[in-house]
Chains A and B, each alone.
Chain A
Amino acid sequence: MSLTVISSGLFTTVQDLGRSGWRDIGVAAGGAMDTFALRTANLLVGNPEHAAGVELTLNGGELLAETDLLAAICGAYMAPQAAGAELPMWRPVWLARGTRLSLGHAAIGCAPVLGSRSTDVRAAIGGLAGRPLAAGDTLPCGAAGGAAAPSAWAAAWAAALAARARAEGRLPWAAASWFAPPFAYGGANSGGIVLRAMPGPGFGQLTAAAREMLFREPFRAAPASDRMGCRLSGPMLEMTARAELLSHGVTPGAVQLPPAGQPIVLAADCQTTGGYPVIAHVAAVDLPLLAQVKPGDYIRFQQVSLAEAQRLDLERESALRLLAAAIRIRNP
């Protein structure tokens, strides 16, 4: 089973849930920016949740199914197309060999590095030779690439959907009629994308005005935003005293404040340590929202307590467990 990259899109990489456990030697944990989308997509094709998929940014390019494939596309809406028709997201889709599609998720096989197939372009490890995908790349899928072979559940659905496609005889693909509840990414309204966040260790050093502005004013995602972090432009945030900080461990979601007064929200490929004050931290439950912030989008921070953030995090995990069970017991 395999996929070939016809055109690579803006920035396309192989990602799984990352390589945790190596931050103490300076290796970023990395992994999918939108873990909810990856985990759901994997559940929808009967993969283990941590299986590698293809992460697309803004413009996804084109992939060619070299063999019949069961795929799922999850994340922000990207108008996926195959054979001239729009492909539904958030559900399993069977694709006939030779179908060209705009996006896709299949368990991607490539040699794991430090326990993960995620691509870290700075360290040049993981994924396909540690770099973004380019036209002409072939991605082995499933057992061919050393990844998980399709489960019995996936094989049953692939067969049922293939039969439906042939029976209808119109398109070289067929989608299940059921779907996983799509994530509510929001953002289109005037307030912008709302990211729930807790005050960070450096919050107390902000001026009173800055503390208020942080949790009230909209900030705009700057063009220089990527998998390492989302640079924001907005009101200048000032600190009452700026001491030279020694570097300390940082994690995705941390909101750093460099001397210029414009915050940076760290993301999946952020460095393991940083020396800027951390004025807030985005709740883990909203990291998939952060993942979908595009340059030019407005975001707003909404203050929540640690207790509330952890309650939401645990609720999200429960929801994924229920989703996994519901998908598993659904047979063609």
Chain B
Amino acid sequence: MKLNLTALPAKLEINPFGDRAIVLSYSGETGPGSWHAMAMAASGIRRAKKDWIVDIVPAYETVTIVYNPVRVLRAWQEDHRAGGDFHNRAAGRGSDVYKPRMPFEAAVSLVEAILKSALQGDPDNGQNTIEVPVYYGDEFGPDLEACAARSGMNAADFSAMHASGEYTVALIGFMPGFPYMAGLKGELAQPRREDPRARVPAGSVGIAGLQTGIYPLDSPGGWQIIGRTPLRLFQPDRPKPALFRAGDRVRFIAVNEAEFRKRQEEEGRECR
């Protein structure tokens, strides 16, 4: 389901989140299509590179924008001083009628303006597809057999079905670089483990509910672990520290042990 991004602003609500953030929420029917569109909206806002924006966090059908209250007022004033009474004219208001007295109002006004220009053009512009090699099962996927049994199939079919899916990263959260992916086929859905593990190794591919995800770092965790990827998801000293971003499309590719080790060496990590 492809969403027309230029139509997006019409279905967005903007509300305050505390006194230093606003949240955009999609008020239409939500699902992987709208989540991808919201992630693209977030990318568009990020590309505008405004000094008053502190953070932009896309997550499912919301985008939270953390702003600097002093800078946002200054930016709004500069916009208007430059003769750009665009906001009021565009809204059909007289020039002196609407003057934001508070940072929140300035932020809403400026974000609306950015969205309008950021969402012109090809909605798939800037979209990324990432292929993730996965070794399914054995010691890398200790929960694969149990998950397959729960879904009434054998382990080989379960992993083949998981790998055949088309996924979208709905958000990065919980820990640095952790992708929550939508698009898991209903038959593969799993409950979280009743007994979370004290340590899930980095690279573990898991399922919780209808989400699939990958642990970027060793961590305690309650997801069902079905395989492991040799890819490194979070490296703070790289120019692009995280492999995934909200909005990315993902495909899993089953690999054998030899390919896993080879890829692991390429990623520069020692074998565990």
Do B236 and A125 touch (CB < 8 A)? yes
Instruction: Say yes or no for A248: interface residue by CB 8 A criterion.
Output: yes
Question: What band does the interface of chain B fall in when counting residues whose beta carbon is under 8 Å from A?
Answer: 35 or more
Q: Which residue of A lies closest to B182 (CB)?
A: A246
Query: Assuming A281-B17, A306-B16, is B176 touching A273 (CB within 8 A)?
Result: no
| Given A25-B241, A123-B217: 5 more A-B contacts, CB < 8 Å | A22-B176, A25-B245, A29-B55, A251-B20, A282-B18
Q: Number of contacting residues on A, CB 8 A?
A: 42
Q: Which residues of A contact B (CB under 8 A)?
A: 20-27, 29, 113-114, 122-125, 198, 200-201, 246-251, 253-254, 271-273, 278, 281-284, 306-307, 309-311, 313-314, 317
Interface locus among B64-72, B113-121, B156-164, B257-265: B64-72
Do B56 and A25 touch (CB < 8 A)? no
Do B241 and A114 touch (CB < 8 A)? yes
Do B217 and A310 touch (CB < 8 A)? no
Residue contacts A-B, CB under 8 angstroms, 5 given: A21-B55, A24-B46, A198-B16, A246-B60, A248-B64
Given the complex, which residues of B lie within 8 Å of A284, measured CB to CB? 18-20, 69
Partner among A23, A113, A249 whose Cβ is within 8 Å of the Cβ of B23: A249
Given the complex, which residues of B lie within 8 Å of A281, measured CB to CB? 17-19
Given the complex, which residues of A lie within 8 Å of B246, measured CB to CB? 24
Partner among A27, A273, A314 whose Cβ is within 8 Å of the Cβ of B59: A273
Instruction: Say yes or no for B102: interface residue by CB 8 A criterion.
Output: yes
Q: Which residue of B lies closest to A273 (CB)?
A: B173
Given the complex, which residues of A lie within 8 Å of B180, measured CB to CB? 247
The CA-CA distance from A125 to B217 in the complex, in Å, is 12
Q: Which residue of A lies closest to B60 (CB)?
A: A246
The CA-CA distance from A250 to B42 in the complex, in Å, is 16
A-B interface, 5 closest residue pairs, ranked by CB to CB distance from nearest: A249-B64, A273-B173, A249-B57, A281-B18, A25-B242
Determine how close the nearest CB of chain A comes to the CB of B28; give it in whole angstroms: 15
The CA-CA distance from A25 to B236 in the complex, in Å, is 11
Query: Assuming A201-B15, A310-B102, A310-B103, is B178 touching A26 (CB within 8 A)?
Result: yes
Instruction: Say yes or no for B104: interface residue by CB 8 A criterion.
Output: yes
Given the complex, which residues of A lie within 8 Å of B23, measured CB to CB? 201, 248-249
Instruction: Say yes or no for B54: interface residue by CB 8 A criterion.
Output: yes
Instruction: Say yes or no for B175: interface residue by CB 8 A criterion.
Output: yes
Do B58 and A24 touch (CB < 8 A)? yes
Determine how close the nearest CB of chain B comes to the CB of A58; give it in whole angstroms: 26
Do B70 and A26 touch (CB < 8 A)? no
Query: Assuming A247-B180, A310-B19, is B172 touching A24 (CB within 8 A)?
Result: yes
Determine how close the nearest CB of chain A comes to the CB of B88; give it in whole angstroms: 21
Given the complex, which residues of A lie within 8 Å of B237, measured CB to CB? 113
Query: Assuming A125-B236, A313-B19, is B70 touching A273 (CB within 8 A)?
Result: no
Given the complex, which residues of A lie within 8 Å of B60, measured CB to CB? 246-248
Q: Which residue of B lies closest to A28 (CB)?
A: B176
Do B15 and A23 touch (CB < 8 A)? no
Given the complex, which residues of A lie within 8 Å of B244, measured CB to CB? 25
Query: Assuming A306-B16, A310-B102, is B55 touching A247 (CB within 8 A)?
Result: no
The CA-CA distance from A26 to B62 in the complex, in Å, is 15
Q: Which residues in chain B, 190-235, are within 8 Å of chain A measured between CB atoms?
A: 217, 234
Query: Assuming A24-B245, A113-B236, is B172 touching A249 (CB within 8 A)?
Result: no
Q: Which residue of B lies closest to A308 (CB)?
A: B19
Q: Which residue of B lies closest to A123 (CB)?
A: B176
Instruction: Say yes or no for B143: interface residue by CB 8 A criterion.
Output: no
Interface centre among B15, B18, B21 (most CB of A within 10 A): B18
Do A273 and B245 touch (CB < 8 A)? no
